[in-house]
Structure 1
Amino acid sequence: MVSVVGAVFVALSLAPLLVLSVPPIGTQPEQVHISYAGFPGSMEITWTTFNETEESTVEYGLWGGRLFELTAKGKATLFVDGGSEGRKMYIHRVTLTDLRPASAYVYHCGSEAGWSDVFSFTALNESTSWSPRFAIYGDMGNENPQSLARLQKETQVGMYDVILHVGDFAYDMHEDNGRIGDEFMRQIQSIAAYVPYMTCPGNHEAEYNFSNYRNRFSMPGQTESLWYSWNVGSAHIISLSTEIYFFLDYGVDLIFKQYEWLKKDLEEANKPENRAERPWIITMGHRPMYCSNNDKDDCTQFESYVRLGRNDTKPPAPGLEDLLYLYGVDLELWAHEHTYERLWPVYGYKVFNGSIEQPYVNPKAPVHIITGSAGCRENHDTFVPNPRDWSAFRSTDYGYTRMQVHNTSHLYLEQVSDDQYGKVIDSIWVVKEKHGFSAWF
C-alpha cells in the first residue's frame, strides 16, 4: 500500500514537468504586426504560426460596431530559417481593403485552428492636410531594449500613427535558429499590432541573404521590403537599403536596381502636381552618410560608400547624396550609430543653413537625423571629441525620435531620452516655404 501511495506522489510531483514538456500549439498565431500596404484604404496584417493551417483569415469590424462582421483571407508562405536546424515557420499575410479613412477597427487573425488576441488599429487618414505623428528609431534588440517599455505605453495611449524602425532588429533575428527573431517579434507585437510598423534593413539582418528580414516583414511594393515608398499626410516617405553597398556577395546589381528605382520614384514624386500635394520628401536608410562617432564606420569616412558610391565595382556604383540633393529631399533619417545626432543642413560636407539665426528655416540642403539609440546588447557608441562643423547636437542617451508633419511647410522633430525618464533633450522645427531642388537657391 505504501509503495502505491509513493508512486502516486511521485507521479503528481512530476505532473508540472510533464505539462511543461508538451509542445506549444503550432497553429496558434503569434508575432502579429501591421503595415501600410501602399494604396488607399489598405492595411496588411502579418503573423506567424509554426504549423501549417488550412487558411489565413482576419476577422474585423469598425470600433463600436458588430465584432468581426468583416472577413478577409490571404495566404501563408513557408519560411525555412538558414540555421543548422532548418526551422520551419509559416508567415501569414492578409491585406485589408476598402477601409474607411481615419476609422478605428478591431481585429483578430488566425484560423479555426487558433486565433490571436484582439487588437485594434486606425485606418490611415488619406487627407493631405492630416498631420501624422511618428516614433522613429533603429538598432533595437531583444536584449537591453531600453526604450521599448516607454514606446509600448505611448503607442497604446495613441501618441503615434506610424512607427519607423530604421534597421537592425533583435540582435539578431537569425540567432538560435531564428528563435531570437521570434522573441523580438513577440516583444514588438504590443506596438506593431496597433500601428503600421514600417521598416528598412540594417547590417544585422544580413545573415542568409537578409532572409529573416525579407520573410518576416511585409512592406509595400514587390522588392521583399528592401526598398519602397509610400504616402502619408503631406509627406512622401522612401525606405532604402544601405546594406547593398556592403554585402556585395548578395549581388552588386542590387545597387544599380535600387538606384534606378529611386531615381524613377523621385521623378514621380517631383512632378509638379505630386510635389504640390505632398511637398515633404523624407528618406529612411540604416547607415548614415555623415556621423561624428569614433568607430570608423562608413559615415566617419569622407569617401562614404552610401554618400559617394563605390569605385571598386564594374561599373562604379553611384552613391545617394547627389541624387537626393538633386530631387530636393527635405529630411534624411538614419540609424546604425548607437547614438543620436542632429546635423545642420549639409551637402558635400558643407553646411547650408537657412540663416545664422534660423538654420532650419528654408534650409539650403537636406536635414539629417541619426537615431540609433533605442537600446541593444551592443550598448552605446561614442563620439569623437571635436566634431566637424556640420554636427549640431549629439547625445549618447538611450532614446528615440518623435516627428510630426504638421502641414506642407512645418515639420517638427524631437529626441526623447529614456535615460532621463522621457525628457525631450532636443527639438527643432524645419520650416520650408518651398520644396524641391529650387529650394536650395
Structure 2
Amino acid sequence: MLQWTTKNFILTYFFTLISTHEYLPINRIPEWKSKINGNIGPSFGQPEQIHLAYGGDPTSYSITWMTYDDTLKSIVEYGTDISDLEHSVEGRCAVFLDGQKHSVWRYIHRVNLTGLVPGTRYFYHVGSDHGWSPIFFFTALKEREDGGFIYAVYGDLGVENGRSLGHIQKMAQKGQLDMVLHVGDFAYNMDESNGETGDEFFRQIEPVAGYIPYMATVGNHEYYNNFTHYVNRFTMPNSEHNLFYSYDVGPVHFVVFSTEFYFYTQWGYHQMENQYNWLINDLKKANSNRHNIPWIITMGHRPMYCSDFDGDDCTKYESVIRTGLPLTHGYALEKLFYEYGVDVELWAHEHSYERLWPVYNRTVYNGTRHPYVDPPAPVHIITGSAGCRENTDVFVEHPPPWSAVRSTDYGFGVMRVYNSTHLNFKQINVAQEGKIDDDFWVVKSSPKHHRPFKHRDLKRLRTYGTHIPKHHCHHKSHCDKTRRRRKHSRHSHVEI
C-alpha cells in the first residue's frame, strides 16, 4: 500500500499550482513521524490565526487556523460551558506553497461545526496534542430581539495603519456585531515578506474573527500568483476557492464575486466567464426565493462609480465592471444586476467613503424627496477607508451627480438589516472618535418591491432622475481640462 509523505504531496501540489483547497491525505506520514521515534514531534505545532466563517446557515460554522508544521490532527473542542468543552470534531489539513523563491510551508486547518443551536453561546479552542489555542467564544447567528443582524462593512484594511481595527475588535467582543463583511484588500499584502505580512494580518484580526464570522471578498492586493494566499487562507461557504460564492442570512441573500478577473486577465478569461455564468444562475435562483429571502446584496471590490481624484476605472464613464469588456461589452455587471433586481451593492477599493444616489446606466435618481424609498435602481455604497499604509484618498472638487455623501476620513460601515423592508447603514468615523459621517435607510415598502427592475422602474428613473450623457462634463473645470487635452492631442497629431 502506498503511503503518502507530506513532502510527496507538497511537491505535487507546488508543480500543479491548484487554485482550490487541496487536503493532505488522511493516511499521510509527516516527516517527524517517519523517524519512528516517540521523542520527535512537529517542531512548530502551535495553532494561530484562528478565524470563523459562516457555514451557509445558522447551524453551521467553519473554523480555520494555521500551523507551521504538520500536526497530523486538526481538532476543535467546544461546548456551552467554558469548563467543559464536551464536543470534539476533527477536520482536515491543507498545505500551500505560494510560489515564491523561499516559499514557507503553511498548514491550513479547517473544521466544520454543524448542528449548532441559533442564539446559543459556544466556547471553543483549536489544535491537537502538539498545541492548543486560547479559548474563544461565539454565538450562533440568531436574529436580534430588536430586529435583524448587524454587519461591519469595510475594505482595504492593512497591517500598517489599520486605523479602524481597534473599534471593530471591541464591537465584536462586546456582541455589537454579528458578522464582518471585508470587501477586498487585506494586509497590504498577504504575500509580502514571504507571506509573513499575511500571517501578521490574520493575527491582528483574530480578536475579531475568533468571535464572529469574517466573510471575505477578493481585491487587487490579493492578485499574487492567481490570488493564492486569499484562496488558501480563507474558508468561505459553498466554495472551494472563495472567489465567488453566495449565502443567506435572515432576509438577505449575499452574492460575493471577484472584480479582479476583469483586470488580471493573465490568469485566463475563463475565470470571468465561469463567474458570469455562475452569477446568472445564482441570481435566478435567488429571485425565485424572494418571497422567503427578499434582499439581494452584492459584494465586489472595485466599484462601478466613484468620484475620487485618482483616475481609477470607476471615475470613467465606461467602467469595465459596469459596462463589460471593451467593444463587446461582454460580462457587463450593471445590466445583469439591474435585470435581477439587486437592492444594494457594496464596494471598497477607493480609500474613502461614498454613498451614491440610486443609479443605473448613468441615470441618477435624485429628483424626489425620498430617493431611497422603493428606489427604481440599486443603491451603491463604497467603504474602503478602514486604514492601510496607502492612506486615504481625496475627492474631486466637483463630484459627479451620482455622488450623494462623501468622507475622506478613516472609518468603516455598520449595516443593519432589520427585516424584509428596512435596511440601515452608518459610516463610523474613527478619525473623529466614532462620529457618524452618514446614516441613511433603504426602505422597500412592501414585498412586491423586492424583484427584478422593470420597464416602469426605468420610466420612473428617467422621469425623476438625471441622465448623464457619455461625454458630459459635470463642471466647467472638468470641461476646460477636457478641451485642453483635446487641443493638445490635435497639436501633437499635427507635429507628428
Normalization by structure 2: what TM-score?
Answer: 0.81
1:361 CA drift (Å): 0.9
**1:160 alignment partner in structure 2:** 177
Letter matched to residue 346 of structure 1: V
SS at match of 1:125: coil
8 Å Cα contact 1:327-1:436 kept in structure 2: yes
Match of 1:347, as an amino acid? Y
Q: Which amino acid aligns with 2:290?
A: R
CA contact (8 A) 2:57 2:249 kept: no
Aligned partner of 1:255: which letter?
Answer: M
Q: Which is further off, 301-310 or 65-74?
A: 65-74
TM (norm. structure 1) is: 0.91
Match of 1:368 among 380, 393, 397: 380
What is the distance in 1 between the residues matched to 2:149 and 2:91?
A: 28
Number of aligned residue pairs: give it. Answer: 412
| d(CA) in 2 for partners of 1:359, 1:287 | 24
Alignment partners' CA distance in 2, 1:128 and 1:202: 35
**Distance in 2 between residues matched to 1:215 and 1:130, nearest whole Å:** 35
- Partner letter of residue 367 of structure 1? V
Structure 1 counterpart of 2:356: 343
- Which residue, out of 127, 135, 139, partners 2:156? 139
- The 5 A counterparts of 1:113-192 are 113-125=130-142, 131-192=148-209
Shift of 1:223: 4.3
Q: Is the 8 A contact 1:255 1:317 kept in 2?
A: no
Quote the offset at 1:311 in angstroms: 2.8
Deviation at 1:352, TM superposition (A): 2.2
2:61 to 43, 58, 65: 43
Q: Among residues 317, 333, 357, which one is paired with 1:302 in the alignment?
A: 317
2: distance between equivalents of 1:127 and 1:181?
33
Question: What is the CA deviation profile of residues 361-382 of structure 1, one whole-angstrom value per residue up to 9, with x for unaligned ones?
Answer: 1111000000000000000111
- Retained in 1: the 8 A contact 2:253–2:286? yes
Cα displacement (A) at 1:40 = 4.6
* SS of residue matched to 2:432: coil
| Partner residue, 2:128 | 111
Candidates 43, 53, 70, aligned match of 1:52: 70
Measured after TM superposition, the shift of residue 103 of structure 1 is 1.1
What residue in structure 2 maps to residue 417 of structure 1? 429
| Residue 402 (structure 1) aligned to one of 406, 410, 414 | 414
Equivalences for 1:194-233 in 2 at 5 Å? 194-233=211-250
Query: In structure 2, what residue type is equivalent to 1:284?
Result: M
Question: Which amino acid counterpart does residue 178 of structure 1 have in structure 2?
Answer: G
The one-letter amino acid paired with 1:119 is F
| Per-residue deviation, 1:39 | 3.7
Q: Which amino acid aligns with 2:50?
A: V
The CA deviation at 1:54 is: 1.6
Residue number in structure 1 paired with 2:95:
78
- The answer to whether the aligner puts 1:384 opposite 2:401 as a matched pair is no
CA distance in 1, matches of 2:58, 2:202: 26
Structure 1: state its 5+ residue gaps: 1-23
Aligned partners of 1:278 and 1:135: how far apart in 2?
21
Shift of 1:250: 0.8
CA distance in 1, matches of 2:144, 2:280: 26
Change beyond 3 A, Cα 1:264–1:126: farther
Q: Is the 8 A contact 1:82 1:177 kept in 2?
A: no
Q: How is 1:217-296 mapped onto 2 (pairs within 5 angstroms)?
A: 217-271=234-288, 274-296=289-311
Amino acid paired to 1:259 = Y
Code of the aligned partner of 2:286: A
User: In 2, are the aligned partners of 1:169 and 1:204 still within 8 Å (CA)?
Assistant: yes
Decide which of 452, 475, 489 is 1:437's aligned counterpart. Answer: 452
Cα-to-partner distance string for 1:330-386 (whole Å, 9 max, x where unaligned): 000000000000000000011124x62111111110000000000000001111111
How far did 1:111 drift? 0.4
Give CA-to-partner distance per residue, 1:275-317, whole Å, 9 cap, x none: 01111100010000000012111101112111011136xx763
In the alignment, residue 351 of structure 1 is paired with which amino acid? V
Separation in structure 2 between the aligned mates of residue 255 and residue 30 of structure 1, nearest angstrom: 34
Match of 1:11 in 2: none
- Root-mean-square deviation (Å): 1.7
2:45 corresponds to which residue?
A: 27
What letter is aligned with 1:212?
H
Q: Percent identity?
A: 52
The residue type paired with residue 370 of structure 1 is: I
State the partner residue of 2:337.
324
The equivalent of 2:467 in structure 1 is none
Contact residue 129 and residue 234 of structure 1 kept, 8 A = no
Equivalent position amino acid for 1:333 in 2: L
Unaligned runs of 5+ in 2: 1-41, 461-496
C-alpha distance in 2 between matches for 1:413 and 1:222:
28
Given candidates 433, 439, 458, the residue that maps to 1:427 is 439
C-alpha displacement of 1:126 = 7.3
Q: Match for 2:326: what amino acid?
A: N
CA deviation map 1:15-73 (0-9, x unaligned)? xxxxxxxxx961000000000121451000000000001200000012x4762100111
Superposed displacement of residue 81, structure 1: 2.4
Q: Residue type matched to 1:375 in 2? A: G
Does the C-alpha gap of structure 1 residues 257 and 278 become closer, same or farther in structure 2, counting only changes over 3 Å? same
CA contact 1:74–1:92 (8 Å) conserved in 2: yes
- Alignment partners' CA distance in 1, 2:246 and 2:147: 18
The corresponding residue for 1:334 is 347
Output the CA distance in 1 between the equivalents of 2:202 and 2:306.
29
In 2, the alpha carbon distance for the partners of 1:128 and 1:417 equals 27
User: Could you tell me how far 1:127 is from its partner in structure 2?
Assistant: 9.8
Name whichever structure is richer in strand by fraction: 1
CA distance in structure 2 between the aligned counterparts of 1:334 and 1:67, rounded to whole angstroms: 42
- Counterpart CA distance in 2 for 1:158 and 1:129 is 14
In the alignment, the residues of structure 2 paired with residue 269 and residue 347 of structure 1 have an alpha-carbon distance, to the nearest angstrom, of 21
Q: Is the Cα contact below 8 Å between 1:130 and 1:234 reproduced in 2? A: no
Q: Is the 8 A contact 2:339 2:453 kept in 1?
A: no
Q: Secondary structure at the match of 1:363?
A: coil
Per-residue CA distance 1:397-420 (angstroms, 9 max, x = gap): 000000000110000000000011
Assess if the C-alpha contact under 8 Å between 2:143 and 2:149 holds in 1.
no
What letter is aligned with 2:275?
Answer: Q
